[in-house]
Amino acid sequence: MRIVSGMRPTGKLHLGHYLGVLKNWIELQKENECYFFVADWHALSTSYEDKLNLRELSIELVRDWLAAGVDPTKSVLFVQSTIKEHAELYVLLNMITPLGWLERNPTYKDQLAQIKTKDIHTAGFLTYPVLQTADIILYDADGVPIGEDQRPHIEIAREIVRRFHHLFGCEVFKEPKELLSPTPRLLGLDGRKMSKSYNNAIYLSETKEEVWQKLRGAVTDPQRVRKSDPGNPEVCLIYDYHKAFSDEETIKKVEEGCRTAGIGCVECKKWCLESIERVLEPMRERRAAISEDMIAEVLQKGEQRAKAEAAKKMQAVNEAVFEQRCEVEK
Ligand code: TRP
Ligand code: SF4
C-alpha cells in the first residue's frame, strides 16, 4: 500500500505522539511504501502570529522521527512547503470545495469554540482540510494513518475526490482510506490531555533522570495514603502507563500488588520507569548518532522523490482541468 501522513512542526514530541502516531508509522513502513512529511504550511494555519522558526522546528521534528525509528531508507521524508505542487493542487481543490463541507467540519467547529488565545478566523484555517486533501491525493495514498480527531478530514478528502471526478469526468485520484491508530490516547501525568502547555508530558528526548522526576511527582490513587492502604489501579495514571509500556507479567504484578497493598507506589513507578526506558533508551542511542548534515541529506533525497511523484500527478490533473484530457474516463 501507498501510505501518506504528516505532522505539524509545533515542538518536540512526547510519549503520546509516539504511541498515537509514530509507533504506527514505524510498523507501517515495514511492509508499505510510506511518505511522511512535515506539515509546515498547516502549522501556519493556527500559528501565523507566533513568529515560529518553522525551518528549525521542521528539522527538530525529523530528528525526533529518526530517533524514534522512522527509517529514511524505507520511507520518503520531506517538508511539505518544499513541494509546491501541494499548493497548486490546493488552489484547484479550493475552487470545487463547497463552503458548507468546511463550515460543518466538526474539528473546525470545535477549535473555533476552544481556541481563545489565537484568531483563527482565517481562510487558511477554514480550508485546512482542503490542503490536507491535496497532501494525500497528490501521492495516490491508499491509507492515511491518523488519530481519531482527524477522521472528518479523511471523509472530506474522499468527498472532494468524488466531486473532482464527477466535475471533470476523469478519474485522476485514489480515494484514500483512514488507518486509525490502534492505541488509545495516553493522558498526561496530571490526568489531563498530554500537552506542552500543561507541562505534563514525557518527551522522547528526555534523560532517564528527567523521566524519573516526572513519574515520581505524578499523583496516584489518592486512597493510598500509606503503603499499607490497598489501592485501585483503575483510577491511577501510572497503571495506564504500565498498560501502554509494560509486559503482561508486570501489569499483573502491579494490578495485584496495588489492590492488596503488596507493593508501594514508588516501587510501582520504578517498574514503570524501566518499561518506558525500554522505548526511550534505544531512541537516545539513535539520536546521538544523528547529525545536521544527515537530516539535510535525508530531506533532500525525500524532496526529490516526492517532487517526481507530485509533478507527475499534477500533469494529469492539469490536463483534466484545463484541457479535458483524461487517461481514465469516469
Ligand atoms: N492534520 C494533521 C494533524 O494535525 C496533519 C496533516 C497534515 C496530515 N496533512 C496531512 C495527516 C495528511 C495525514 C495526512 O495531525
Ligand atoms: Fe498507582 Fe501503582 Fe500506586 Fe497502585 S501501586 S496506586 S497502580 S502507582
CA of 95 to the centre of ligand 2 (A): 55
CA of 197 to the centre of ligand 2 (A): 26
Please report which ligand is nearest the Cα atom of 108.
1
Q: What is the pLDDT of residue 181?
A: 85
Q: Quick one: which atom of ligand 2 is closest to the CA of 269?
A: 8
Q: Is 258 in the pocket of ligand 2 (CB under 6 A)?
A: yes
Q: Is 233 in the pocket of ligand 2 (CB under 6 A)?
A: yes
CATH entry, 2-186+291-322, from 3.40.50.620, 3.40.50.1980, 2.30.30.30, 3.40.640.10: 3.40.50.620
Q: Quick one: which atom of ligand 2 is closest to the CA of 265?
A: 3
User: What is the DSSP code string of 256-299?
Assistant: HHHHTT-S-HHHHHHHHHHHHHHHHHHHHHHHHT--HHHHHHHH
Q: What is the pLDDT of residue 328?
A: 87
Domain boundaries, the chain: 2-186+291-322, 206-286
Q: Is 132 in the pocket of ligand 1 (CB under 6 A)?
A: yes
Give the mean pLDDT per block of 10 residues along the chain (330 residues): 97 95 96 98 96 97 98 98 98 98 96 91 97 98 93 98 97 97 86 88 97 96 93 96 97 97 97 98 98 98 98 98 91
Find out whether 194 and 15 touch, Cβ atoms under 8 Å. yes
Q: Quick one: which atom of ligand 2 is closest to the CA of 257?
A: 5
Please name the residue whose Cα sits nearest to atom 14 of ligand 1.
Answer: 5
Please report which ligand is nearest the Cα atom of 231.
2
Q: What is the pLDDT of residue 286?
A: 98
Cell, residue 144: 492515511
Q: Is 146 in the pocket of ligand 1 (CB under 6 A)?
A: yes
Q: What is the pLDDT of residue 84?
A: 98
CATH class of 206-286: mainly alpha
Mutate to test the pocket of ligand 1, among 7, 47, 89 (most ligand atoms within 8 A of CB): 7
What's the CA gap between 226 and 300, in Å, rounded? 57
CA of 21 to the centre of ligand 2 (A): 27
Which pTM does this prediction carry?
0.95
Nearest to 24 by CA among 66, 70, 57: 70
Identical fold at 2-186+291-322 and 206-286?
no
Q: Is 158 in the pocket of ligand 1 (CB under 6 A)?
A: no
With 0-12 CB in 10 A as exposed, 13-18 as middle and 19+ as buried, what is 117? exposed
